[in-house]
């Protein structure tokens, strides 16, 4: 239950931040933030080869000191190198901020993912919430006390947030570590890299499905269109709060169990809850009048309801595939994740060249939604090859809800 509560708080805080940024800096400022964060996420995928799922997966298999050694070194190296490569390929307006954000966010991610691998979901929830809370606190300080009112204040606040949380979480983790256990192991390095690049390849390809439209829109229609479209994507990611919460708990459970049947059953329960709750959220959002979004986000965002409508089928599809994807990652069956992401990405790239120049934001919505449905459909079909299919798999009972909630509560106590 604490996982759900924490995700709900993150949802509220994130939307508060979105509302503030759109009203403070308008669609152009929001577009700038979206592009920088998209760049940061790309860097994060390279960093996550050693600091992402690999840390979680091997946390119970190897010494913490050995895992974090590679995670920290890789964070610094890649966090500096990849943004510099970006700057060679194309102009990066906030390069130095991007480098700082890349290094600090990756170092913090290593610590947080270690908590998940240790089944310490309580600390995972805490630091996930604090990333939003501390960021907002620093924005208030920088904008209203230091009086830096340009969009750069957003990035300074985020840098400060990552730095504070990394130092705090490091004290918690390193207090249980011993210097004498720190050592370089070729075997551990190779295993971390082998598992990491496979999971991150899939995640990176899926990210491109999610964010490639930003870059096409910027190129064909300008940065303002990115800002408007990003609000629809923000709604998508907010709705996925439930599926991501279930996925974290499920992944932690799957990597720590050897019972295949139990893992399958828990995946089915999580899948059904994710589907039904996501559908409910979509209906609620679509029932809100278009004027509501203008009142909240500003006059530049009158298209928000229409954007959300076009994205809805894809949002529902991803809510289902998030659960199944984490199951496959937990049992180390990563090939299917890469295949489904490649298929979705190919569709996104090919169609974007023809549709976005003609239909702009509406075209980007259609492309994104169809890509989500194609890739999610493939993953759904592959999952049901492993288990017998019944109509009741889409129906959820009271006992199943209680079983899952009891599991979540036990993990967080």
Residue-level pLDDT, tens digit, the chain, 413 residues: 555 566 667 777 877 888 888 888 887 888 888 888 888 988 988 888 888 778 887 776 777 777 888 889 999 999 999 999 999 988 888 899 999 999 999 999 999 888 877 777 788 888 888 998 999 999 999 999 999 989 999 999 999 999 999 999 988 887 777 666 666 777 878 888 887 787 777 777 777 777 788 888 888 888 788 878 888 877 777 777 767 766 766 666 666 666 767 777 777 777 777 788 788 888 888 888 888 888 887 777 778 888 888 999 988 888 888 888 878 877 777 788 878 888 888 998 999 999 999 888 899 999 989 998 998 888 888 887 777 656 566 566 666 566 555 554 454 44
Gap between the Cα atoms of 34 and 45, Å rounded: 17
CA distance 260 to 191: 23
Question: Please, are residues 70 and 182 in contact by the beta-carbon 8 Å criterion?
Answer: no
Q: Indicate if the alpha-carbon torsion angle 392, 398, 402, 403 is positive or negative.
A: negative
pTM: 0.67
Q: Please, are residues 252 and 112 in contact by the beta-carbon 8 Å criterion?
A: no
Q: How far apart are CA 233 and CA 315, in angstroms?
A: 9
């Amino acid at each position: 239950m604490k996982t759900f509560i924490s995700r709900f708080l993150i949802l509220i805080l994130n939307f508060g931040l979105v509302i503030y940024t759109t009203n403070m800096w308008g669609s152009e400022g929001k577009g700038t933030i979206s592009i920088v964060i998209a760049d940061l996420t790309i860097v994060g995928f390279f960093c996550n080869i050693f600091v992402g799922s690999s840390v979680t997966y091997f946390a119970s298999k190897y010494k913490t000191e050995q895992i974090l050694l590679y995670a920290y070194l890789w964070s610094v190296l890649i966090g500096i190198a990849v943004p510099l490569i970006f700057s060679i390929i194309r102009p990066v307006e906030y390069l130095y901020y991007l480098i700082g954000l890349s290094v600090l966010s990756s170092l913090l991610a290593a610590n947080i993912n270690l908590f998940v691998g240790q089944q310490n979901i309580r600390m995972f929830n805490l630091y996930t919430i604090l990333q939003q809370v501390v960021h907002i606190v620093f924005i208030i300080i920088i904008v209203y006390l230091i009086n830096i009112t340009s969009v750069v204040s957003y990035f300074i606040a985020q840098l400060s947030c990552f730095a504070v949380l990394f130092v705090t979480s490091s004290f918690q983790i390193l207090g249980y570590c011993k210097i004498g256990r720190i050592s370089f192991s070729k075997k551990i390095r190779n295993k971390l890299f082998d598992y990491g690049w496979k999971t991150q390849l899939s995640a990176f390809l899926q990210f491109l499905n999610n964010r490639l439209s930003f870059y096409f829109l910027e190129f064909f229609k300008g940065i303002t269109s990115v800002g408007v479209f990003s609000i629809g994507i923000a709604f998508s990611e907010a709705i996925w709060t439930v599926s991501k919460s279930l996925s974290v708990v499920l992944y932690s459970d799957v990597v720590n169990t050897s019972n295949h049947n139990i893992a399958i059953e828990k995946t089915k329960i999580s899948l059904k809850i994710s589907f039904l709750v996501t559908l409910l959220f979509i209906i609620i959002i679509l029932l809100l009048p278009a004027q509501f979004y203008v009142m909240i986000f500003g006059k530049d965002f009158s298209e928000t309801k229409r954007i959300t409508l076009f994205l809805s089928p894809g949002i529902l599809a991803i809510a289902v595939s998030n659960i199944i994807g984490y199951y496959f990652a937990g049992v180390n069956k990563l090939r299917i994740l890469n295949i489904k992401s490649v298929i979705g990405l190919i569709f996104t790239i090919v169609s974007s060249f023809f549709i976005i120049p003609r239909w702009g934001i509406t075209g980007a919505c259609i492309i994104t939604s169809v890509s989500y449905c194609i890739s999610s459909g493939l993953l759904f079909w592959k999952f049901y090859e492993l288990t017998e299919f019944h109509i009741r798999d889409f129906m959820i009972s009271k006992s199943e809800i209680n079983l899952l909630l009891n599991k979540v509560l036990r993990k967080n106590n």
